[in-house]
Amino acid sequence: GSTTRKRLNSLPRLHPDNHIRSSIPSASIGESVINNTATMADEYNAEEAAEIKKRRTFRKFSYRGIDLDNLLDLSSDQLRDVVHARARRRINRGLKRRPMGLIKKLRKAKQEAKPNEKPDLVKTHLRDMIVVPEMIGSVIGIYSGKEFNQVEIKPEMVGHYLAEFSISYKPVKHGRPGIGATHSSRFIPLK
């Protein structure tokens, strides 16, 4: 009785629109946010932003013991000795006209991109292309047989095929079994 009434009185009162009244006036919060964004826009610096982004990375990426900076500097012969056997055989046979055409398009897209911005999408049907370090940071539309799936190449993708990042089938979601599909389905009543 009276103890529950005392407990209810000690709880903060709700305003009719079901919000607890705050002692901070709401207008001052909004103004401070607007003022803060205005000063940030004036002070934007591309090099500074890149430095902050670099500092923010927590775990150093390395591919088979080679860190990212050294990986980007590798020649194709040195890269061949680092990657797995299947990719090594492919690089030994040489990247022919179509894979080199894709790499040239990616280079062009990277050159035309503004600093600290993603390059334009480059579409390709080459699902059997091996991801090389030069492709890191590019945005590729990989054909799935139906549409181009947009993928940003990350350092972790080196040595994999492009096809691994653009699934060509829809994973099956099983419904109920059909009539006569199994012996147990004899007992499912016909609708």
pLDDT score of 79: 87
- Go through the chain and tell me how many residues it has: 191
CATH homologous superfamily for the domain 62-165: Ribosomal protein S19/S15 (3.30.860.10)
Residue 134: name the closest of 93, 97, 163, 100 by CA.
100
Q: What is the pTM of this model?
A: 0.60
Structure token pair of residue 118: 């993603």
Is the sign of the CA dihedral 81, 87, 92, 94 positive or negative?
negative
pLDDT score of 47: 74
pLDDT score of 75: 87
pLDDT score of 91: 87
- What residues does each domain of the chain span? 62-165
Reduced to 3 states, what is the DSSP secondary structure of residue 8? helix
The mean pLDDT values, 10 residues at a time, for the chain of 191 residues are: 60 58 52 52 66 67 84 86 90 86 91 88 92 90 93 90 91 83 68 61
